[in-house]
Amino acid sequence: MNAMNTLPKYIVTLCDGPTCMHQRSKTLKAVIEEELKKRGLYETTSLVLSGCLGMCNKSPIVIVNPGYTIYGGVSPEDIPEIVEEHLVKGKPVARLAIEEDYLYNRFYRVFGDVAFFGQQMRIALRNCGIMDPESLDDYLSLRGYEALAKVLTDMSPAQVISEVKKSGLRGRGGAGFLTGLKWENTARQKSDEKFVICNADEGDPGAFMDRSTIEGDPHTVIEGMIIGGYAIGAHRGFVYIRAEYPLAIRRLRKAIDEARREGLLGTTILDSAFSFDIEIKLGAGAFVCGEETALIHSIEGRRGMPRPRPPYPSQKGLWGRPTLINNVETWANIPVIVLDGADWFTTIGTEKSKGTKVFALAGNVQNTGLVEVPMGTTLREIIYDIGGGIPDNKKFKAVQTGGPSGGCLPEQYLDTRVDYESLQAAGSIMGSGGMIVMDEGVCMVNIAKFFLEFTQNESCGKCTPCREGTKRMLEILQRITKGEGIEGDIEKLERLGTMISKASLCGLGQSAPNPVLSTLRHFRAEYEEHIKNKRCPAGTCVDLLSYTITDGCVGCGLCRKKCPVGAISGEPKQRHVIDQAACINCGQCYAACKFNAIQKS
Amino acid sequence: MKQMITIYVNDKAYQVESGQTIMQATDGIGFRIPRLCYHPKLSIEGACRVCIVEVEGARNYIASCSYPVNDGMRIYTNTVPLRRARRDIVELILDNHPDDCHTCERDGICELQRLAYSMGIRRRHFEGEKKNYEKDLSSISVIRDPNKCILCGRCVRLCSEVQHVNALGYANRGFQTVVMSAYDRPFSESVCTNCGQCINVCPTAAFVEKNYTQELFDKLNDSSVIKIAQVAPSVRAAIGEAFGIPPGQAFEREVAAALKKLGFTYVFDTQFGADLTIMEEASEFLERIQGNGVLPMVTSCSSAWMKYVEQFYPDLLPNVSTCKSPMSMLSAMAKTYFAEKIKIDPAKICVAAIMCCTAKKYEAARPELMVNGLPATDIVVTTREIAWMIRSAGIDFLHIEGEDFDAPLGLSSGAGAIFGVTGGVMEAAIRTAYELYTGETLIDIEVNAIRGFQGIKEGKVLMDGKEIRVAVVHGLGHVYQILDMVRNEPGRFHFIEIMGCPGGCIGGGGQPYAGSNSVPLDEEVLQKRAQALYGLDRERTFRRSHENPHVQKLYKEFLGRPLSSLSHKLLHTHYTPKEPRGIITREQTA
Amino acid sequence: MAVAGDQNIQTLQEYMRGLKSTGAPCSHLIAILHKTQELYGYLPREAMDEIALTMDIPRAHIWGVATFYHYFNLTRPGRHSIALCMGTACFVKGAADILEAIKNKLNIDFGETTGDGLFTLQQARCLGACGLAPVMMINDKIYGSLTPEKAVAILDDYASREKKGVLHTGNV
Amino acid sequence: MSLPLEIIKKKRAEAINRIIGRGFLSTKRVYVGMATCEIAAGSKEVMNAFREAIQTGLTDVYLTQKGCAGRCNLEPTVEIVEEGKIPIKYGRVTREKVREIVERHLKKGEVIEEWVIK
């Protein structure tokens, strides 16, 4: 990519998705660059390689902005014409331009030129950032509720289910169950009443995809749910949402009211025979309620404790009736599948994981934020190409996916493709989409302890392995990070962890040991270092630290003044010394020293 | 049509009925997968994870209590990793449980202890912080010790699903989860009816009765006191179990003998009190039907039911018979009629009631039951406590020579004996009321319509052409059904018997713990205890309360007639609505 | 029992009356508890009793729900509630140090209220502002990119404004 | 009775008319990020600053809110969309920056490059 110092006049986007790449988009790039240079446009044109743009049947794809002209089936021979006519003369080449109106395109018109966004593919988040979430008009203008209308006009419930099945869409909440199959199972049940639930109890610490979706585009979730209700024969839907999301709740409430006013919710929707309405149910701060049976209990007004399955919610769910539960992101995909078609949808992603996945990219990474990429994108692409790599010249250490249920993957796994199977094989999980990047300053034992503290705190307390087992694992980890680890602790962690994951009642318990087991798998030496040598290689476990003053000390005395326990002594202008017995490892001297003369180890 | 399917357990094929859980299926073919939170009478919790098995094709272990069998399923119940996981799970429970087995009430009869032993836990691997809560000693009947609680949830489910009292619930979550009453208030301030069924289903000693054995031993060793015992019918029907005798054998005269050996001066029979109750209650009933009294009349013998009605249905208190319970009637007679007879200051008499019931401890302390300023019943001990006392005092219960109860309050009719079984009070009342009303003797006195363990039983009796419609309820969980009927169709019944515990007093909260080969609330055990009492009834010379010559004598010498003013003073009482108001649940809510 | 003329109880009763006819009473419980907390700032026992009697939900059940969900306060919170985010992103970026600084400053732990009733410290599980990590929320306002010093300064500011009386009540 | 698809097309046409009625066809459309994260970063101030600018005479601008596009560490974000031009995305916008954006970009058409998200 040519470095730009001033804003470009044109932005030329080349799709670099697998299909386009196969169609030699790389050669195209060279040809374009050559043509630009020839005409002296190289400095004023930005050339961007994007992720898959989902127009594979017309590949290779070249997009020229402003104006968002899409050229399809471009060959190297076409390039001079495009550059001359469009970029020099400002007249798009009608012969090559294609009319594509995919729902996600609009996002690119606004954001496609920024590398962070250009590499992404926005399906669930297609409207987030380009419309007023509190305006039904805005949503309608972006073909909102057209999928619903299409379903009500042209499709039988069975056809809707078959389309969703064909799309290969899998639950975006974590487990990755085939959505269409879930719909089919629920549709098959005979019952006087059925329900649809949107799981918006986004509880992973560090994940906020669902909040952003609802805050940015609430109607898409509503539309998805109505279509789901139509497909399975339900007339009531519930959105179970965290009370900690007041803005999302307010926007959702407003969206529901407006949809109702416009005849998009309620009785005889859009003059059809179908009726459906949605209620909002608030969570109250319990991570476990993301588990579907716990969520159902919570909606029923009980403690959010999971129950054994079967019966599955599709058989016996809310108030004992067949219930279809999908999470926010899954629902947000539905209108796209209906309008742009399952055939199109299946062109995105990998063989077993279709479509895109939203990640909340955070931690020690340059560009933090929401990232939606086609399944099959590598971790490296997400962290380095989109995320911009690790800040402060630090080294990458691990990436954590799947939140407290997931695992930490080290550098050698950076080329893992994000899809359900690959991540699992690597020892982590897709989860709902938290992605935390960690640099060398993060201690893996400590991070495992952090996650276990979380699951321990969020354990509902019902089943023994999770309630008692995670507590014991946590105690062992606390011991290790304090330097009190003993021989055999690692084996105990493994023994407990394996038992807990195989014997716990629900997904929370079954996955609770994952952060420990995965760090044990990939960072075992770091554990051993803590236990055997009482050393924390990352330098974060306070009890294992020691501070020493090096030759760099000029004897300014600042550290001596800062030390709260008077453990530092030394004459002015002489090298100071820390009394290790008195030092409490608070680190204040380290922070205060202006000469980097204090060493932490 | 039951469909048979093939399952493989540890690679051996078995034919089992479809539609069962793995546990049900394997129970039927000679296995008994270890279990803890599971209880056949309660909803499936799936919490303890002790009953896990391996199922081919499943990624994780499967809780056999909840997972259905399907054709061709391959189940493994004893693989090495599974055994280790199960063992570790039980160890995790132990690791958060006091290590005080030797000094524990349930030492030797604790399900957790048994389970830990059979899991082969000989060493600890995962010890750490243990929970540390205060015992709740506030209730006069039931002690709650959260430290011994293993969160199997049986008590919570029982209190909600079986009894519909909902005094118990989980509070907090995760490692901090505790079973407690609302707002963490003392148990005594809750809606608890003291039925004690939580004690029966608890696998450990997280719930035990408030123990009064030491007080009783003190009294028994106090020569300045006249020690009077009275024994409830159901005690004799179950006490053998506490000594390892299979259920179903009555130990009537043996109990009397053991109590005398313990040091009681007089051993009376609560069944005499029962006969007396029938005299009063049948008369009250006839008075109500003849004099436009409030109908239907509801019995008042069950202490748990009495607290329940005061809290949950205060508006229906006028329907409740004013009769005291047999225990309280007998105690009242002991401290008046009998005290006069032996010319002893009633204050020097200690009446100890040996009851199958924990709620009787609460009843004994009710101020409205005082007689001439003295508590009528001084101490109540349960079947379990008395069995322990007998053992502790070095009495060889199994080889004891039986003795008679003492006169004049020790002779009872068969009607008094069946008081202990659900339907018994009604049956006894019918036997007497029929004769009082018609003047004729009821020949077919075994009223089968109201025997048995159905939750609600209905029957009809023709008395001189008048149809008397009766109903019998046992277990507080069924009460709302019958009382809804009473509200919706006030004329539907004339007389209703309500017992707080499932099965009636034979299933009381003070009865011996389930042995190692049965489960608490086992209906088969209840049947056998019932049969024991029906057997006593059949063996009696007198089977109708009014035929009891000592009862007749009591009226002649002291009370005059049923419902006399002295009767009213000593044998009847009144009830008042109690706080906190109970919330009636028609569906289970836990 | 409810104090006569208690405005909040009346509002709560009206709220419940509106719900009682629709669906299973228990399914409204969490919404009612939210309403209660909105009115009182926490869940007073009297209010829970009122809910039990009006909605026919056993007290032990209400108590179980109230203690299960960490969003509900069981004691009266301080005037300003500090929710320190301990989500992963914040943790990775040093939330533990912020916690230490706040604990030292206020002498309270999570779930506790300062002696002067000014601050309640609560643990948040991701406030969804990971880009600004580490963050804390005081009442409804989010403070991002915290350092221990910055956090303490913010608390000082609240305390001093509180002294001058320029701050209104907490949760609005 | 019309088919749902016909109804929705009619609704869409009406919606678009209403949006146009609100000034959508102004030369410059300004979108201010207003999600929880944006607000936490201070976007309410930004929104207010634009509103004040309009109240005090800024014309030919269509001001609206939008959800979070996902670029968290550069929030609050503002997009300025002009027909035929590359949409400009400003990051870390403050009240002060708004004043300049209004003066230089919205009034004079000058893109303030150093604040643009690239």
Q: Are residues A501 and A581 in the same domain?
A: no
Distance from CA of A118 to the nearest CA of D (A): 10
- Summary mean pLDDT of chain A: 91
**A131 assigned to some structural domain:** no
pLDDT tens string A452-492: 999 999 999 999 999 999 999 999 999 999 999 999 999 99
Helix/strand/coil for A58 = helix
Q: Does chain D touch chain C (at least 3 C-beta pairs within 8 Å)?
A: yes
Nearest-5° angle of CA A592, CA C107, CA C79? Answer: 115
Note the pLDDT of residue A5: 52
For residue C144, the chain D residues in CB contact (below 8 A) are: 40-41
Identify residue B428 by its one-letter amino acid code: A
Note the pLDDT of residue C2: 43
pLDDT tens string B186-210: 999 999 999 999 999 999 999 999 9
In angstroms, the first-to-last Cα distance of chain D is 50
pLDDT tens string B125-176: 999 999 999 999 999 999 999 999 999 999 999 999 999 999 999 999 999 9
Note the pLDDT of residue A22: 65
- DSSP codes of every residue in B322-355: -BPPHHHHHHHHIIIIIHHHHT--GGGEEEEEEE
Note the pLDDT of residue A119: 83
- Distance, CA of C90 to chain centre: 20
CATH code for the domain in which residue A75 is found? 3.40.30.10
How sure is the predictor about B573, in pLDDT bands with cuts at 50, 70 and 90? very high
Of the three residues A408, A439, A470, the one that is the final residue of a domain is: A439
Note the pLDDT of residue B588: 43
Q: Does the model's pTM come out above 0.90?
A: yes
Is residue B219 a contact partner of residue B378, using CB atoms and an 8 Å limit?
yes
Nearest-5° angle of CA B24, CA B29, CA B33? Answer: 55
Q: Are residues A491 and A588 in the same domain?
A: no
Is residue A161 a contact partner of residue A181, using CB atoms and an 8 Å limit?
no
**A130 assigned to some structural domain:** no
Q: Could you tell me which chain A residue has the CA closest to the CA of D89? A: A111
Query: DSSP state, B123?
Result: S
Distance from CA of C59 to the nearest CA of D (A): 36
- Give chains near A: 3+ CB pairs under 8 A: B, C, D
Domains of chain D, each with CATH number or no CATH: 26-115 (3.40.30.10)
CATH code for the domain in which residue A457 is found? 1.20.1440.230
Note the pLDDT of residue A11: 85
Q: Across the interface, do D15 and A137 touch by the CB < 8 Å criterion?
A: yes
Which own/partner pairs from B289-293 qualify as long-range (CB within 8 Å, at least 24 positions apart)? B289/B466, B289/B468, B289/B494
How sure is the predictor about B1, in pLDDT bands with cuts at 50, 70 and 90? low
**A519 assigned to some structural domain:** yes
The whole-angstrom separation of Cα C44 and Cα A207 is 33
Q: Are residues A380 and A250 in the same domain?
A: no
Q: What is this model's ipTM? A: 0.93
Alpha helices in A155-199 (DSSP H): 157-167, 179-188
pLDDT tens string A69-124: 889 888 889 999 999 999 998 889 998 888 877 888 888 888 888 878 888 899 99
Token digits of residue B344: 């002893």
Please indicate whether residue B360 is annotated as part of the active site.
yes
pLDDT at A3 over 70: no
Of A456, A472, A505, the CB nearest to B49: A505
pLDDT at A1 over 80: no
CB atoms within 10 A of CB B28: 12
For chain B, count helices (H), then strands (E): 20, 17
Identify residue D53 by its one-letter amino acid code: A
Query: Under 8 Å CB-to-CB from B111, ≥6 apart: which residues?
Result: B36, B203, B204
Cβ–Cβ contact A501 with B under 8 A: yes
For residue C124, the chain A residues in CB contact (below 8 A) are: 244
Token digits of residue A160: 């809707």
How sure is the predictor about A6, in pLDDT bands with cuts at 50, 70 and 90? low
Note the pLDDT of residue D1: 65
Note the pLDDT of residue B353: 98
Domains of chain B, each with CATH number or no CATH: 4-78 (3.10.20.740), 214-571 (3.40.50.1780)
pLDDT at C4 over 50: no
Residue spans per domain, chain C: 7-68, 80-164
Task: Read off the pLDDT of each residue in B454-459 and give the average, rounded to a whole number.
Answer: 94
Please indicate whether residue B435 is annotated as part of the active site.
no
CATH code for the domain in which residue A579 is found? 3.30.70.20
Residues B360, B361, B457, B528: which is the catalytic one? B360
Give the side-chain half-sphere CA count within 13 A for C137: 24
State percent of chain B over pLDDT 70: 99
Is residue A177 a contact partner of residue A314, using CB atoms and an 8 Å limit?
no
For residue B313, the chain C residues in CB contact (below 8 A) are: none
Q: At A239, give phi and psi (nearest 5°).
A: -105, 120
Token digits of residue B4: 């048979």
Is-cis flag, bond preceding B146, omega within 30?
Answer: no
- Distance, CA of A174 to chain centre: 10
The whole-angstrom separation of Cα A95 and Cα A77 is 13
Note the pLDDT of residue C127: 75
Q: Are residues A258 and A372 in the same domain?
A: no
Nearest to A480 by CA among A446, A441, A515, A519: A446
Residues of D with CB under 8 A from a CB of A: 1-5, 7-9, 11-12, 15-16, 18-19, 31, 33-37, 39, 64-74, 77, 79, 81, 84-87, 89, 111, 113, 116-118
Q: Could you tell me which chain B residue has the CA closest to the CA of A456? A: B174
Tell me which of C21 and A287 has the higher pLDDT: A287
CB atoms within 10 A of CB B345: 10
Residues of C with CB under 8 A from a CB of B: 26, 45, 48-49, 52-53, 56-64, 67-68
How sure is the predictor about A322, in pLDDT bands with cuts at 50, 70 and 90? very high
Token digits of residue D65: 């809110």
Residue ranges making up the domain that contains A105: 10-118
Of the three residues A343, A368, A386, the one that is the final residue of a domain is: A343
B contact residues 97-126, partner A, Cβ 8 Å cutoff: 125-126
Of the three residues A343, A376, A408, the one that is the final residue of a domain is: A343
pLDDT at B221 over 90: yes
In terms of average pLDDT, the best of A268-272, A364-368, B443-447 is A268-272
Domain made up of C80-164: CATH architecture: 3-Layer(aba) Sandwich (3.40)
Q: Are residues A505 and A366 in the same domain?
A: no
pLDDT tens string B514-525: 988 888 889 999
Q: Are residues A261 and A144 in the same domain?
A: yes
Identify residue C73 by its one-letter amino acid code: N
- Distance, CA of A366 to chain centre: 16
pLDDT tens string C78-113: 999 999 998 877 888 889 889 999 999 999 998 889
Task: Read off the pLDDT of each residue in B324-329 and give the average, rounded to a whole number.
Answer: 98
The whole-angstrom separation of Cα B231 and Cα B238 is 12
- Distance, CA of B178 to chain centre: 25
Distance from CA of D18 to the nearest CA of A (A): 7
Token digits of residue C87: 């989500």
CATH code for the domain in which residue A330 is found? 3.40.50.11540
Task: Read off the pLDDT of each residue in B482-491 and give the average, rounded to a whole number.
Answer: 92
How sure is the predictor about B589, in pLDDT bands with cuts at 50, 70 and 90? very low
pLDDT tens string C131-170: 788 999 998 788 888 999 999 999 999 999 888 876 554 4
Lowest mean pLDDT among A188-202, B365-379, D73-87: D73-87
- DSSP codes of every residue in A259-301: HHHTTSSBSSGGGSS--BEEEEEE--S-GGGGSHHHHHHHHTT
- Distance, CA of A392 to chain centre: 24
**A1 assigned to some structural domain:** no
Q: Are residues A181 and A153 in the same domain?
A: yes
Mutation pick from D37, D44, D71, D73 vs chain C, by most beta carbons of C within 10 Å, is D37
Note the pLDDT of residue A207: 83
Q: Are residues A339 and A360 in the same domain?
A: no
- Give chains near C: 3+ CB pairs under 8 A: A, B, D
Is residue B151 a contact partner of residue C19, using CB atoms and an 8 Å limit?
no
Helix/strand/coil for B564 = coil
pLDDT tens string B391-429: 999 999 999 999 999 999 999 999 999 999 999 999 999
Give the side-chain half-sphere CA count within 13 A for A390: 18
For residue D36, the chain C residues in CB contact (below 8 A) are: 127-129, 142
Is residue B121 a contact partner of residue B91, using CB atoms and an 8 Å limit?
yes
How far lies C65's CA from each of A481, C57, C125, in Å? 35, 11, 19
Say how many domains are in chain A: 5
Distance from CA of B76 to the nearest CA of A (A): 14
Note the pLDDT of residue C166: 63
pLDDT tens string A121-174: 999 999 999 999 999 999 999 999 999 999 999 999 999 999 999 999 999 987
State percent of chain B over pLDDT 90: 95
